[in-house]
Structure 1
Amino acid sequence: MKKVTSAIVLFFFTCSLQAQVKKTENIVVVTLDGMRWQEVFTGIDSALVANHHFTKDSADVVAAFGAANDTARRKKLFPFLWTEVVAKGQLYGNKKRGGNMQVANPYKFSYPGYNEIFTGYPDTAVNSNDKIANKNHNVLEFINGKKGYTGKVAAFATWDCFPYILNKWRSGIYVNSGLDTIRLQAPALQLINDMQFITARPIDVRLDAYTYFAAREYLKAYKPKVLYVAFDETDDFAHSGMYDQYLKSAHAEDAMLADLWHTLQSTSEYAGKTTMIVLCDHGRGDAVKAEWISHGKEIVGAEDIWMAVIGPDTRALGEITHSGVVYQKQVAATIAALLGFEFKPAGHETGAPVTGMLP
């Protein structure tokens, strides 16, 4: 009897301890489309800055983001990542220091990448950027089906393909993308809706700033437990060969990350119980400098990506170096595990959670 009693006590003590350890109750995921790991970890590329075909005003770029070494340059370009996240979280993907992160899909472009992020596996049938409703179930809809999370999962995206990638018609999650009318009652959201239609658009859809502020104001008004924000300008400006604009958008998105994190930490529903994951869908070329504008199956290096994470359950290890390869397909299971769930879609072998990000 004493042994049985002791076992019961130990069981409940262990459960109690585990409950105390896991603090994450909310997840925020942010993606920077086609943002290269090279700039994230080493700052501006001097060869691309010096090339007037890609950088119209090199002096302006150097004044804003130039510095004597990689460490200083990356901090100028991404101050939030290289102050708060490096001090309190983790960054993966610096190939120069053995911190490899890669896509597992063979295509190395957007729809296959986002499918891999959220379904947990590369699907060779997902091989275009066409607006086709994704047949694969994703981790966001999986969480939306859990008690306490239904109706508390939302996505805001600049690219208008996301309703199809996340299959909003089947998944039931709220997806606002492209130039979707924001049909929500909060006054700030109504203002953002008006502004996105009136302003000039240097890219095909709305600016990332409108996507961000819509997501932020939705967060304040509706308190989702899982929020996804998908930026797109970095990829659009890169394909256009506009390195200076690519850098400026990256810098602005870092400021949005900082603002979002500080908003979370100043809101009682999120402070101290929210994990934020930041990553990209694919890399870009670098072996041939002119290929920085490109990605895809034939582009060497487009498989190399990066990720940053900060939250109450993630140890403050800073830049992860000399590790094995972390894969994009591991992100979905990691998102679920941070909330205490196991995500394993039937009929598919998904990537395992990134254990270094878990308690």
Structure 2
Amino acid sequence: MKRAVLLVSILFCSSYAFAQIRTKNLVIVTLDGLRWQEVFRGADSALVNIEAYNPDKKEITSRFVRESPLARRELLMPFFWSTVAQKGQIYGNRDIGNKAEVANPYRFSYPGYNELFTGFPDPRVNSNDQVPNPNTNVLEYINKQKGFEGKVIAFTSWEVFPSILYDKRSGIIVNSGLMDLNIPGMSDRLKLLNEMQHLSPGFVAEEMRLDVLTYQFGKQYMIDKKPRVLYLGFDETDDLAHQGNYKMYLQQARKTDAILADLWKYLQSDPFYKDQTTLIITTDHGRGEVPLDTWKSHGEKIAGAEQVWFAVMGPDIPAKGLIKTPTTIYHKQLAQTISELLGLDFKSGAGHEVGESIRLK
């Protein structure tokens, strides 16, 4: 009798826990290669003062440089440090002992995104070549769950994502680079965006779509089709850093923060998404800091390239703001975190153990 009562109690508690999940939809945004140093400290004065990286010191100083790191970061990412910091949780400020890292040893994009979306680092994923990913990713898993079929989509600026998320196997739409979007019942605005991306300047890379167009594709798709899970992969911060253009790198970080503000405004204005959508914001790898020229680079030989950051806010996320606990989280934990936010339990499907979810509550 006692065992029966215990079983009923366990089942009731489990059902109650899942019933309390208010997150019905999820939006994931990555800002490729944006350092934690800029996120938590704002503009780096040392880099601002190097003419080779910033030929217009006066302008960028006026716009982004202040005496305190707190003031600098609020100038660079005002939405992040107001709305996200007030309503969500932010991880990875190493200045106060809270660390976020990639577990993969390669510390560049494809291995970073593989770890983020599959829940484990894979030594087979060790280049940025457009090789189909052998690992099941969490978006693929979600797309196969009841109520999510055909409701998961990715829009990315970098053209390698159809391989990273292996769209031919996963069955999800992965619209990347300068690919035209071809779906039934496309609105005139989506058709116009198809045209615009081919006429826009490729000032970063000819094959890469501008982040603003990637965002507009994603936003219009939400308006038209109401996906339950959307991934937006932005790329320009990384490419501008590789070019050594610190001024443009900072300006793009600021513009991406404005995109995040617009995205959240839309999510809170649409009854389908309002108060039942969680937003995740992160990056795929870090960059160097010392010596100063290593900020342009990342990879296994660059000290600090494993250092990342992570932010989340939504109806199930306690508003803890900046997390000050002296601990380390890893990107391999994000796949299961994403899954659990939707009341699911992600399995890699290949016998690999995925990282345990981050304890957000």
**TM-score over 0.5 (shorter chain):** yes
Describe the superposition over 1:131-163 as per-residue Cα deviations: whole angstroms up to 9, x where unpaired: 001011100000000011010000000000000
Out of 153-162 and 320-329, give the one that drifted further.
320-329
Q: CA deviation at 1:178?
A: 0.3
Aligned position for 1:190: 191
| CA separation of 1:291 and 1:14: change in aligned 2, threshold 3 A | same
What SS class does the counterpart of residue 308 from structure 1 fall into? strand
| Residue 266 of structure 2 corresponds to residue 263 of structure 1 | yes
Runs of at least 5 residues in structure 2 that lack an aligned partner in the other structure: none
Describe the superposition over 1:28-56 as per-residue Cα deviations: whole angstroms up to 9, x where unpaired: 10000000000000000001001010012
What SS class does the counterpart of residue 270 from structure 2 fall into? coil
Aligned position for 1:272: 275
Q: CA deviation at 1:5?
A: 9.3
- Of all paired residues, the percent bearing the same amino acid is 49
What SS class does the counterpart of residue 322 from structure 1 fall into? coil
Aligned position for 1:318: 321
| Residue 201 of structure 2 corresponds to residue 200 of structure 1 | yes
- 2:96 touches 2:326 (CA, 8 Å); kept in 1? no
Tell me how far apart the structure 2 counterparts of residues 27 and 85 of structure 1 sit (CA, whole Å).
15
Aligned position for 2:353: 349
What does 1:1-359 correspond to in 2, within 5 Å?
Answer: 10=9, 14-15=13-14, 17-184=16-183, 185-204=186-205, 205-345=208-348, 346-356=350-360, 359=361
Q: CA deviation at 1:182?
A: 2.0
Tell me how far apart the structure 1 counterparts of residues 324 and 17 of structure 2 sit (CA, whole Å).
28
* Amino acid in the other structure paired with 1:182: L
User: What TM-score, normalized by structure 2, do the two folds share?
Assistant: 0.95
Q: CA deviation at 1:275?
A: 0.7
Describe the superposition over 1:244-266 as per-residue Cα deviations: whole angstroms up to 9, x where unpaired: 00111111111111111111111
Describe the superposition over 1:9-67 as per-residue Cα deviations: whole angstroms up to 9, x where unpaired: 75675356324421111111000000000000000000100101001211111111122
User: What TM-score, normalized by structure 1, do the two folds share?
Assistant: 0.96
Out of 101-110 and 255-264, give the one that drifted further.
255-264
What SS class does the counterpart of residue 277 from structure 1 fall into? strand
What SS class does the counterpart of residue 230 from structure 2 fall into? strand
- The RMSD of aligned alpha carbons is 1.6
- 2:36 touches 2:308 (CA, 8 Å); kept in 1? yes
| CA separation of 1:172 and 1:292: change in aligned 2, threshold 3 A | same
Runs of at least 5 residues in structure 1 that lack an aligned partner in the other structure: none
* Amino acid in the other structure paired with 2:217: A
Tell me how far apart the structure 2 counterparts of residues 8 and 269 of structure 1 sit (CA, whole Å).
36
